C-alpha cells in the first residue's frame, strides 16, 4: 500500500489506472504483484480520503470513458511529504489545487476529452485534447483549463486548443498562474483569470 500511495502521489494530474500502476510497481519491484490486489488497495486509499479518482468524459460523444482516470491528492502537503519533496511539479500541483477548490465549493467535477481530426500529408488522424475540468451545475456547464506558464503565443494557442474544438456555448475559463493578470474576456469569449482570483473569489465561475 505504501508503494501504491507513492505512485498515486507521483501521477497527480495525469491519466492513469490500476493496470498502469500495477505495471509501474512490477517494473520497480519485479513479479508477484497482483492487479486485483492493487485495484482493491486503490479503493481502500480512496475510501480513506487520501486521494480522489475523477472520471474522464468525452465531450463530443457525450459519454464517460472507463479506461483512464485522474487521481488528485486530498492534501498536497501530505502528498509532497510522501515523495520527500522530490517531485514538485508546479503545473500538476496547480491543477490539483484547482480541483480541491471546486470540490470545496460542493461541485461535481469531471475531467474532459475532446476529439478532433487533423489531416497530415492527406492522412486523417484523430487527436484527443484535454479539458482539465468540466463542471455541471443545474442548467449550467463550465469548462476550466489550468495554465501554469504561458510564455508566448504558441503556448497560449496550445492551452486554448481544446476550448476551440468544443462546439457549445457554455462558459470557458482559462486559469493562469500569473499573479498580476487582470481578469478579461478575449475575442473568442474565453475568460482569462489569475489563479489567485480564482481561488479567493467564491463567485469566480460566474464573473
Q: Where are the domains of the chain?
A: 2-88, 109-206
Strand partners, 16: 69
Q: What is the CATH number of domain 2-88?
A: 1.10.10.10
Q: What predicted TM-score, i.e. pTM, was given to this entire model?
A: 0.91
Predicted local distance difference test score (pLDDT) of residue 15: 92
Q: How far apart are CA 79 and CA 87, in angstroms?
A: 10
Give strand pairing partners of 141.
Answer: 136
N- to C-terminal Cα distance for the chain?
43
User: Coil, strand, or helix at residue 38?
Assistant: helix
Question: Can you tell me whether residue 14 is helix, strand or coil?
Answer: coil
Q: What is the pLDDT of residue 121?
A: 66
Percent of residues, the chain, with pLDDT higher than 70:
96
| Tens-place pLDDT, residues 17-64 | 999 999 888 887 666 688 899 999 999 999 999 999 999 999 988 888
Closest CA to 99 of 108, 90, 89, 88: 108
The pLDDT tens digits of the residues spanning 126-182 come to: 888 999 999 998 889 999 999 998 999 999 999 999 999 999 999 999 999 999 999
Instruction: Tell me how far CA of residue 127 lies from CA of 40, 68, 80, 113, 198, in angstroms.
Output: 33, 16, 33, 10, 29
Cβ density class 94-122: b for 16+ within 10 Å, e for less: bbbbbbbbbeeeeeebbbbbbeeeeeeee
pLDDT digits over 1-12, tens only? 899 999 999 999
Place of cell 492487479: 35
The per-residue pLDDT for 117 is 76
**Chain segment 86-125, per-residue pLDDT in tens:** 888 899 999 999 999 999 999 999 999 998 877 666 777 8
Closest CA to 53 of 22, 20, 99: 99
Task: Tell me the CA distances in angstroms from 57 to 61, 140, 175, one per residue in order.
Answer: 9, 16, 20
More confident residue, 68 or 107: 107
Amino acid at each position: 500500500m505504501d508503494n501504491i500511495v507513492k505512485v498515486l502521489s507521483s501521477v497527480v494530474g495525469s491519466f492513469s489506472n490500476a493496470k498502469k500502476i500495477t505495471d509501474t510497481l512490477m517494473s520497480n519491484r519485479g513479479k508477484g504483484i497482483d492487479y486485483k490486489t492493487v485495484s482493491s488497495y486503490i479503493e481502500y486509499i480512496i475510501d480513506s480520503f487520501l486521494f480522489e479518482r475523477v472520471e474522464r468524459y468525452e465531450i463530443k460523444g457525450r459519454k464517460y470513458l472507463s479506461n483512464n482516470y485522474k487521481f488528485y491528492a486530498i492534501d498536497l502537503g501530505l502528498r509532497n511529504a510522501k515523495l520527500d519533496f522530490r517531485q514538485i511539479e508546479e503545473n500538476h500541483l496547480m491543477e490539483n489545487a484547482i480541483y480541491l477548490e471546486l470540490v470545496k465549493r460542493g461541485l461535481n467535477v469531471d475531467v474532459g476529452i475532446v476529439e478532433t481530426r487533423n489531416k497530415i500529408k492527406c492522412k486523417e488522424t484523430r487527436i484527443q485534447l484535454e479539458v482539465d475540468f468540466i463542471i455541471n451545475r443545474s442548467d449550467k456547464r463550465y469548462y476550466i483549463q489550468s495554465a501554469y506558464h504561458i510564455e508566448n503565443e504558441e503556448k497560449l494557442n496550445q492551452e486554448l486548443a481544446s476550448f476551440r474544438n468544443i462546439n457549445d456555448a457554455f462558459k470557458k475559463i482559462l486559469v493562469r498562474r500569473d499573479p498580476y493578470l487582470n481578469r478579461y474576456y478575449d475575442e473568442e469569449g474565453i475568460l482569462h483569470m489569475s489563479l489567485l482570483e480564482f481561488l479567493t473569489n467564491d463567485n469566480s465561475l460566474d464573473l
